[in-house]
Amino acid sequence: MPASTTPWRRIAHLDMDAFYASVELLRRPELRGQPVAIGGHGEPSRRGVVTTATYEARAFGIRSGMALRRAAELCPQCVFLPVDFDEYRRYSRRFKAAIATVTDRIEDRGIDEVYIDLSAVPGIRVDHGAPVARDIQHRVLQATGLTCSIGLAPNKLLAKIASDLRKPAGVTIVDEADVPAVIWPLPVRRISGIGPKAELQLEDLGLRTIGELAAAPLSMLLARFGANYGSWLHEAANGRDERPVVTSSEPVSMSRETTFERDLHLRRDWQPLAACLAELCREVASDLRRRGYAGRTIGVKVRYDDFRIVTRDQTLAGATDEAATIRRAAFECLGRVPATRRLRLLGVRVAGLTRAGATQARTATDGRAPPPAGAQQPQLPLSGEDSPLAL
């Protein structure tokens, strides 16, 4: 084990400002200045949640994750628009390409944010990176017409918190020395990795701010959260994080799911349910083929009307990207789901992905056939050089 003294680093976290809403405003400039919320089908009478709201809409209390109906109650004059992922992906590619003109040390963190490792940029140690950040903001604006906020720090954890401190269009530097004054007063929820459940448990321990968490005895955190999460909480609260910027990764799973307009009964509404499952299987198969993957583990997910989630899955002898094979396995899984309540959501997932290369067997069976050698180690896409144990 090498000692974990990492060299000096300068990490940026770049976050696009109100991304979906800002993209929509490029197409609908007449809506600028008005409260606008993006989500679902763009009709508050139908099921769906707000994904992004303009700053004008946020002033009415509208937040992402809020039911569209509730948002319409808070702000009757709000303009609702449906999500258009294809368009957002186009802009996502554009802003990431603009960043790539500065460095290729970019970690993709979804459609509207990235980490950037600026450690090797000339002069970065002298000026701490603010000029580079302003340059990146300018390039993103030129390429897309959109603004972004950037946090600069010695690691990803602090950079992420920093990017949120001055929005929109801000640049914020947070160094180790700034942690007590700038980070510790913030609520624990600002740490990426502390969600609603952990927040509740911490509150239960009397810990509301990151500073209180940093001062908490490690033994208390270990007892409450276990060795892994407990020690991570302690490190995070003290601003320590050695995770590298990861510039490439392989997908682990692909899935499709849908929420019904009205809840369906597993037996009484079997026809529409079966049709839906078959369609989801076709969509996942088509996603797999388009991106060049096949998977061995097929699963279904249902959400009951009380919001409980149940999953069932099945691992095949070989990887597949065929709709018919996925469908057979998915129906078997659905058959094992208890028909206790109505369903509001149905989903299909394929995991255990391998690149669907030329040698990949297309003849996945659900029988007892030994798995093809190539399908033995789906978890290790980068392990081309290590030979599997002799069969």
Residue from the set 151, 211, 239, 352 that interacts with DNA by CB under 7 A: 352
Are 249 and 282 in contact, with CB atoms under 8 Å apart? no
Q: Is 310 in the site for DNA (CB under 7 A)?
A: yes
From the number of C-beta atoms within 10 Å of its C-beta (0-12, 13-18, 19+), residue 349 rates as buried
Q: Is 51 in the site for DNA (CB under 7 A)?
A: yes
Q: Is 239 in the site for DNA (CB under 7 A)?
A: no
Are 176 and 262 in contact, with CB atoms under 8 Å apart? no
Bridge-based pairing of strands 171-173 and 148-153 is: parallel
Kindly tell me which of 115 and 184 has the beta carbon lying closer to DNA: 115
Residue from the set 169, 309, 369, 373 that interacts with DNA by CB under 7 A: 309
Q: Is 218 in the site for DNA (CB under 7 A)?
A: no
**Longest Cα pair distance anywhere in the chain, in angstroms?**
69
Q: Is 186 in the site for DNA (CB under 7 A)?
A: no
CA dihedral 139, 145, 146, 148 (to 10 degrees): 20
CA dihedral 199, 200, 202, 204 (to 10 degrees): 160
Span of 165-173, 205-213, 225-233, 319-327 interacting with DNA by CB under 7 A: 225-233
Kindly tell me which of 128 and 165 has the beta carbon lying closer to DNA: 165
Catalytic-role residue among 56, 113, 199, 279: 113
Kindly tell me which of 121 and 260 has the beta carbon lying closer to DNA: 260
Span of 45-53, 98-106, 136-144, 264-272 interacting with DNA by CB under 7 A: 45-53
Residue from the set 90, 134, 166, 336 that interacts with DNA by CB under 7 A: 336
Does residue 187 have a cis peptide bond before it, meaning omega lies within 30 degrees of 0?
no
Q: Is 314 in the site for DNA (CB under 7 A)?
A: yes
CA distances from 233 to 113, 205, 220, 295 (A): 23, 13, 11, 34
Q: Is 256 in the site for DNA (CB under 7 A)?
A: yes
Kindly tell me which of 51 and 209 has the beta carbon lying closer to DNA: 51
Radius of gyration of the CA atoms of the chain, in A: 24
Span of 53-61, 148-156, 207-215, 256-264 interacting with DNA by CB under 7 A: 256-264
Catalytic-residue membership of 113: yes
Kindly tell me which of 25 and 329 has the beta carbon lying closer to DNA: 329
From the number of C-beta atoms within 10 Å of its C-beta (0-12, 13-18, 19+), residue 206 rates as exposed
What's the token pair of residue 320? 């597949």
> Using CA atoms, how far apart are residues 15 and 109, in angstroms rounded to an integer?
10
Q: Is 367 in the site for DNA (CB under 7 A)?
A: no
Alpha helices (runs of H) in 59-170, residue ranges in sequence order: 68-74, 85-100, 124-127, 130-144, 156-163
Residue from the set 91, 347, 356, 360 that interacts with DNA by CB under 7 A: 347
Q: Is 312 in the site for DNA (CB under 7 A)?
A: yes
Q: Contacts with DNA: how many residues (CB under 7 A)? A: 63
Kindly tell me which of 34 and 255 has the beta carbon lying closer to DNA: 255
Q: Is 58 in the site for DNA (CB under 7 A)?
A: no
Q: Is 357 in the site for DNA (CB under 7 A)?
A: no
Of 248, 249, 252, the closest CA to residue 352 belongs to: 252
DSSP conformation class of 21 = H
Q: Is 299 in the site for DNA (CB under 7 A)?
A: yes
Q: Which of residues 187-206 bind DNA (CB under 7 A)?
A: 191-199
Task: Kindly state the smallest distance separating residue 102's Cβ from DNA, in Å.
Answer: 20
> Using CA atoms, how far apart are residues 323 and 282, in angstroms rounded to an integer?
5
Kindly tell me which of 128 and 279 has the beta carbon lying closer to DNA: 279
Task: Kindly state the smallest distance separating residue 375's Cβ from DNA, in Å.
Answer: 9
Residue from the set 77, 142, 219, 228 that interacts with DNA by CB under 7 A: 228
Task: Report residue 148 CA to chain centroid gap.
Answer: 18
Concatenated DSSP letters of 211-248: HHHHHS-HHHHHHHHHHHHHHHHHHHHTT---PPP---
Q: Which residues bind DNA (CB under 7 A)?
A: 40, 45, 47-49, 51, 64-65, 67, 69-70, 109-113, 160, 191-199, 226-229, 251-259, 261-262, 287, 296-297, 299, 307-315, 333, 336, 344-345, 347, 352, 376-377, 379
- Residues forming the active site: 113
